[in-house]
Amino acid sequence: MTTLAIIGVSRNLGEALARRFGKEGYSLALISRSQERLDALASDLQADGFTARGYAANVRDPESLIAALDQAYQELGHIEVLSYSPLPQKEFLRPLLESTVTDIKAAVEFSVFGPVAAVHQVLQGMRFLKRGTVLFVNGGSAVQPVQHFA
């Protein structure tokens, strides 16, 4: 059995994704900042017959993300599908002319360093499996741009 890791899992999109892949036999590695919420969601999924575990990590802290993905691999097996779908913090959406280096740094940690760390961590397992999928599920501004925001 292989694993779906959902980074930024919530009770909405993340739970729906977990249930869909769980029905196909995937183990579910749920990753978010709140261990308490993760445990509640994992418990609900387990009650419905799915193999699910929660791992707390912050996408802006690559070491915690790497550790969570490694623990998921150790406990659930190779990660075949990685979904990166955390919600961006509202502080990231600032008018361009008001954005500081600190503002941009936080956004880059979230949107670049987090995904790079996650993909790098699961890539060798995907190569071992000779298959794998990475889903990036964010970017509403790609559909409807927000003028003046960096």
| pLDDT tens track for 129-141 | 999 999 988 766 6
Q: What CATH architecture is 3-93+113-138?
A: 3-Layer(aba) Sandwich (3.40)
pLDDT tens-digit readout, 90-127: 776 777 788 888 888 988 898 899 999 999 999 999 99
pLDDT tens-digit readout, 57-79: 999 999 999 999 999 999 999 99
- Residue 5 pLDDT > 60: yes
3-class SS letters over the chain = CCEEEEECCCCCHHHHHHHHHHHCCCEEEEEECCHHHHHHHHHHHHHCCCCEEEEECCCCCHHHHHHHHHHHHHHHCCEEEEEECCCCCHHHCCEHHHCCHHHHHHHHHHHHHHHHHHHHHHHHHHHHHCCCEEEECCCHHHHCCCCCEC
CA distances from 115 to 8, 19, 59, 105, 148 (A): 11, 23, 8, 15, 25
% of the chain beyond a pLDDT of 70: 90
**pLDDT, position 140:** 61
* pTM exceeding 0.75: yes
The Cα–Cα gap between 6 and 138 comes to: 13
Distance in Å from the first CA to the final CA of the chain? 42
Question: Domain ranges in the chain?
Answer: 3-93+113-138
Mean per-residue pLDDT over the chain, rounded:
91
